[in-house]
Amino acid sequence: MTAPILVLDRVTKRFAGHTAVDGLSLSVRAGVIFGLLGPNGAGKTTSIRVIMDIFQPDEGSVQLFGERAGRDHSARIGYLPEERGLYPRMRVLDVLVFLAEVKGVPRRAARLRALEWLDRLGLGDWRLRRVNELSKGMQQKVQFISTMLHDPDLVILDEPFSGLDPVNAQVMKDTVLELRRRGKTILFSTHIMEQAEKLCDELCIIARGKKLVDGALSDIKRTHGGHHLVIGFDGSAGGAQQVFADKGLVKRVDDYGQYAELELAAGADAQQILQRLVASGARLSRFELMEPSLNKIFIDLVGPEAARAEARPEGQAVHA
Amino acid sequence: MRRVWAVVRREFVERVRKKSFWVMALLGPLFFAAVFLMPLLMSRGGGVKRLALVDRTTTTLGAVVAARLDSTQRFFVVRRLSGGASVEDSLAREVGLKSIDGFLVLSDSLTQTGVAQYRASNVSSLDDIGLLRETLGRLAERARLERAGVDPTMVARAQIRVSLDTKKITGGRTTEESAGQSFSLAYFMMLILYISLLLYGVQVMGSVIEEKTSRVIEVLVSSLKPFQLLLGKLLGVGAVSLVQFAIWGVSGRLLLGQRAALVSRMGGVDPEVGQVFQVPHVSGATALVFIAFFLGGFFLYSAMFAAVAATCSTEQEARQSQVPVTVLIMIAFFGSFATLANPESRLAVTLSLVPFTSPIATPARWAAGNLSALDVIASLALLLAGTLVVTWIAARIYRVGILMTGKRPNARELLRWIRTA
């Protein structure tokens, strides 16, 4: 097991009126893709800002690369903030060189790398245009390039997929995987579980500033999974409703009419359900015993929390 | 330090690339040129006035007046005629047709009660009217004295004009600067300081707001300490202002050097005519005082502008919130202006010691009065101390403010921002 590259130890951050991050501890090993998952307002961005030393934690501490975190580490971290921003009136190449320079990259090297990345992401012809002449998607790519120019060991991406079309989301995903192949560590936050499920090696789900679960994706699925059954109907569902209602067999059901996801009751046998369904006159196109989706785990874990979070009366004076 | 340097370079390069910088760079020399060519252009617009002289005197006074006016080289008497009221009507028509610029009606009442009439298309040129009045007055005086039997040579000697030679004394030595020159130098420096402090302070404010509204700030503060960012910004904009001054200074010097040539090309009039506005001599020490106090004031006020911008989320908000800072600069300017006539007054001394007003007041007093080096150093030391304190406070407000959005902080919240470590 490699040494953790990032450790949060009981980090708490309060803003006037509410606690954005509440005793959060987590540990990210070098060379993995780590997902920080949570509903809106869970404290993902605040946690990341604490890691980036933009906010000081009220309690707890952050360790980066085995040392106490500070601005000095920023040269080894690539950071894509949730709220993207570039100087609108500067030329693309100039912005990139500048943002690399403030990370300590010499000017000449910054220029070469910027040109290389621009070509790689198909923006070579745009290097002398002003940022505000670019489309939103192009600006996103430019910003992404800016997080890579100093060849960071740890890349922190806050909602990297938001606002990207499918083609560019694919490019982003490929780039993230490529980074891991080169031995980099990637921490990214998202509330889109499909992306997280495909990419993450490890993850942490938080809600209302608190950690609900963390660990390797496969472990989480095992422990939080239970037995899940996916059923597809071919036209007629027959008496499936009655079968699903049997608490001895089915603990929980997501019934979509032509499709249903079941969580089996403890000790129930899937074969028994199959027999009962066929006997009730249902025609089946699919009957599959499977792991739950991350989405399902997320909703099970976060659902009640998120509902409560929304009921919180006061707004957030500062960005959460 | 390389990171701060990157910020300095960005602020400098982006600003110097802008059109507005070069517009300002050109406006400076144009302004200088206007200042010293304007009197010339105005007099050329009038040129030599062509007059008709309606002579109803019974003496030779009319002929003497005509000769004397011609010798001023400002008036040329086209013809001398006599006649009744109808002549005046026809001359008025000629003025309308612009074949003459005006006419002068003389009668014996000039010597008796001192009355004459001047009719012209332009009677607003104070110089022309003054010259006319003085010429007529002297001639009438002489005519009266001679009629009373005074010796003409005696009269001529009595009428010798006083020419007052004014020179400023600095540090116990007489300089070549006249009263007009030191006033215009002080005024000039005040104006440039006032405009520059506002101009570059507002630029710093705009730069902070741009980073906030475009959200670049978040990437920046994850790479740099807020203080490094603020420092780079101030140094960058400050460097732009120094380059601007250098452009103005060099072009001003070049223009002055070429003045005689320029003046002769613009109309071939004797260059002395253009010297209504006296061009002050700017010594090395004066330039040094100017630059030192500009830089002090620039850092003081720009830090305040940056702090104001950090508490705002939009440009409109910032424009409203900057008013207290702008008012301070205005107090400095108008206060110094009011005390310019009396640079030793208690108010003037106070203004040049308070850090918020001294960036304008002290250079003005230096130029107008005769501050000792010690006075200047005391004022500069106070300014430096004030700048350090204000920048320290501003940097703390800036550090918290740049990441805030939404409601502006009230005074209590601001205090908390300043106190938080």
Rounded-to-integer distance, Cα B208 and Cα B303, Å = 11
- Asked which of A184, A204, A222 is the last residue of a domain, the reply is A222
| Domain-embedded: residue B236 | yes
| Domain-embedded: residue B244 | yes
- Asked which of A189, A222, A255 is the last residue of a domain, the reply is A222
| From B13, B224, B403, residue closest to A102, measured CB to CB | B224
| Domain-embedded: residue A314 | no
| pLDDT, tens digit (0-9, with 9 covering 90-100), for A106-163 | 999 999 999 999 998 888 899 999 999 998 888 888 999 999 898 899 999 998 888 7
Q: What is the mean pLDDT of chain A?
A: 84
Q: What pLDDT, on the 0 to 100 scale, is given for residue A94?
A: 94
Domain co-membership, B181 together with B106: no
Check: CB of residue B304 under 8 Å from CB of residue B390.
Answer: yes
- Give the mean model confidence (pLDDT) for residues B228-235: 92
| Domain-embedded: residue A203 | yes
Domain co-membership, A160 together with A243: no
DSSP A107: H
- The number of distinct structural domains making up chain A is 2
| pLDDT, tens digit (0-9, with 9 covering 90-100), for A4-57 | 889 999 999 888 778 888 889 999 999 999 999 988 888 888 999 888 888 888
Domain co-membership, A210 together with A73: yes
| pLDDT, tens digit (0-9, with 9 covering 90-100), for B5-47 | 999 999 999 999 988 889 988 888 887 777 666 655 655 545 6
- Give the mean model confidence (pLDDT) for residues A281-287: 88
Rounded-to-integer distance, Cα B278 and Cα B266, Å = 19
Q: Which range has the worst mean pLDDT, B31-40, B50-59, B106-115, B374-383?
A: B31-40
Closest Cα in chain B, distance from residue A235 (Å): 53
| Domain-embedded: residue B172 | no
Is the pLDDT at A252 greater than 60? The verdict is yes
Is the pLDDT at B418 greater than 70? The verdict is yes
| From A83, A87, A102, residue closest to B3, measured CB to CB | A102
| Domain-embedded: residue B165 | no
| From A74, A94, A98, residue closest to B222, measured CB to CB | A74
Amino acid at B65: V
| pLDDT, tens digit (0-9, with 9 covering 90-100), for A50-109 | 888 888 888 998 988 888 877 778 888 999 988 888 999 999 999 999 999 998 899 999
- Interface residues of A toward B, Cβ cutoff 8 Å, are 52-55, 71, 74-75, 77, 79, 81, 83-90, 94, 98-99, 101-104, 146, 317-319
Residue B281: pLDDT band with limits 50, 70, 90: low
| pLDDT, tens digit (0-9, with 9 covering 90-100), for B294-324 | 999 999 999 999 999 988 888 888 888 899 9
| From A83, A89, A104, residue closest to B218, measured CB to CB | A83
Amino acid at B184: S
Domain co-membership, A135 together with A232: no
Domain co-membership, A165 together with A16: yes
Domain co-membership, A70 together with A154: yes
Higher per-residue confidence, A310 vs B59 = B59
CATH for B53: 3.40.190.10
Most B CBs within 10 Å, among A50, A71, A102, A318, to test the B interface: A102
CB atoms within 10 A of CB B357: 22
Q: What pLDDT, on the 0 to 100 scale, is given for residue B421?
A: 55
Rounded-to-integer distance, Cα A159 and Cα A43, Å = 13
Residue B127: domain span: 48-158
Residue B20 sits at the chain A interface (C-beta within 8 Å) = no
| pLDDT, tens digit (0-9, with 9 covering 90-100), for A216-227 | 888 888 777 667
CB atoms within 10 A of CB A206: 25
Which residues, 6 or more positions from B343, have their beta carbon under 8 angstroms from its beta carbon? B364, B365, B368, B369
Give the pair of three-digit tokens for residue B252: 């001003």
Domain co-membership, A250 together with A190: no
Q: What pLDDT, on the 0 to 100 scale, is given for residue A116?
A: 92
Residue B270: pLDDT band with limits 50, 70, 90: very low
Which residues, 6 or more positions from A251, have their beta carbon under 8 angstroms from its beta carbon? A226, A262, A263, A264, A265, A266
| pLDDT, tens digit (0-9, with 9 covering 90-100), for B191-203 | 889 999 999 999 9
- Search chain A and give the residue with CA nearest B212: A85
Q: In angstroms, what CA-CA distances link A39 with A21, A212, A309, B189? A: 13, 12, 9, 60
- The number of distinct structural domains making up chain B is 2
| Domain-embedded: residue B168 | no
Domain co-membership, B259 together with B367: yes
| Domain-embedded: residue B339 | yes
Q: What pLDDT, on the 0 to 100 scale, is given for residue A226?
A: 64
ipTM above 0.90, yes or no: no
Check: CB of residue A8 under 8 Å from CB of residue A161.
Answer: no
Q: What is the mean pLDDT of chain B?
A: 82
Which residues, 6 or more positions from A289, have their beta carbon under 8 angstroms from its beta carbon? A227, A228, A229, A270
- Asked which of B158, B191, B214 is the last residue of a domain, the reply is B158
Rounded-to-integer distance, Cα A318 and Cα B116, Å = 81
Residue B276: pLDDT band with limits 50, 70, 90: very low
Alpha carbon of residue A73 to chain centroid: 23
Alpha carbon of residue A189 to chain centroid: 4
Domain co-membership, A116 together with A33: yes
Residue A188: domain span: 4-222
Alpha carbon of residue B244 to chain centroid: 17
CB atoms within 10 A of CB A244: 20
Check: CB of residue B238 under 8 Å from CB of residue B5.
Answer: no
With contacts defined as CB-CB under 8 Å, which chain A residues touch B222?
52-54, 71, 74, 77, 79, 81
Check: CB of residue B216 under 8 Å from CB of residue B394.
Answer: no
Domain co-membership, A188 together with A109: yes
Dump strand ranges (E) for B132-175: 169-170, 173-174
Closest Cα in chain B, distance from residue A239 (Å): 56
| From A79, A317, A318, residue closest to B222, measured CB to CB | A79
- Search chain A and give the residue with CA nearest B14: A90
Is the pLDDT at B210 greater than 60? The verdict is yes
Domain co-membership, A167 together with A72: yes
